Amino acid sequence: MQENVSSRMDTPTNISLVGSGDAVSESLEYKTVSVFLVLLVCGVGIVGNIMVVLVVLTTRHMRTPTNCYLVSLAVADLMVLVAAGLPNISESLMATWVYGHAGCLGITYFQYLGINASSCSITAFTVERYIAICHPMRAQTVCTVSRAKRIIAGVWAFTCVYCMLWLFLVDIQVNPDGRVQCGYRVSRDLYLPIYLIDFAIFYVIPLLLAIALYGLIARILYLNPLPHPPVSGTITAPTLRRSCKEPVDTGKAGRQGRPKSALSSGNRSLRCSQWWLCSSPCFGCHTGPWFSLTPS
């Protein structure tokens, strides 16, 4: 009994959900539904992310620091959809691994590369939004397109080098029934430290940082609420908008005002961060470990 349990634990695990030998996974209904859902999710995701990349790259006024991070995130999502979704479909239909040794290494590498680059891109975007909201004057010189491009290049360089480790950890195996699988080279127990490091660097640390920074952003938005409807004897909304659009005259009565560029940039940052703050709970779902699509 103990020998059977130990032999099962040492057996390499398939890279996808298919091939476990379960009767449900072999049924035609299961394959039809799973392939349809994967095709639907991958199709919508691929088309949407390609549109984001094309719109930002072909529209000059869309090339902002925020959109640079969104392009990086879209490219990472495209990589995950292609590397994780399409092989899952082919293996569901063929019931075996059809991409060979090079495909096993490359697909596993790009899965982890896309997930980790996505997590780092979200973290970099979070820091950029924090600076734009909580330090708007400093954001004029810090949050620039050139700096965003350098940060994104550094993120992808780091994740590309880090994920090369998986090129030496997976390989194809042939089961007794003749099925080819892409899985571990050695016992699964040896991979636990790698998974823990991956989990800490690309999930726990970014999540804690996002919670802290978005908490500070929420505090700023709470302390600076939107203006209430005007009452009699107060400045009306059109007058307030005109005063915000007009340049500040620093020579009258010795008063100094806030520069127009900083004001408009701060307003844009507030609007963008309000949207991102509402969608930030999806961070955990987006960057969580994809144990069902990667070797587990």
Q: Mean of the pLDDT values across residues 263-281?
A: 47
CA 180 – CA 16 distance, rounded (Å): 12
Structure tokens at 90: 């082919």
Report the CATH superfamily, name and number, of domain 2-229+257-287. Rhodopsin 7-helix transmembrane proteins (1.20.1070.10)
Global confidence as pTM: 0.69
Q: How confident is the model at residue 30 (pLDDT cuts 50, 70, 90)?
A: confident
State residue 217's pLDDT score.
92
Q: Which amino acid type is present at position 267?
A: N
Structure tokens at 41: 């999710």
Residue-wise pLDDT tens digits, 34-87? 889 999 999 999 999 999 999 999 998 999 999 999 999 999 999 999 998 888
- Whether pLDDT at 289 is above 70: no
From start to end of 129-274, where are the E strands? 170-174, 180-184
- Whether pLDDT at 192 is above 80: yes
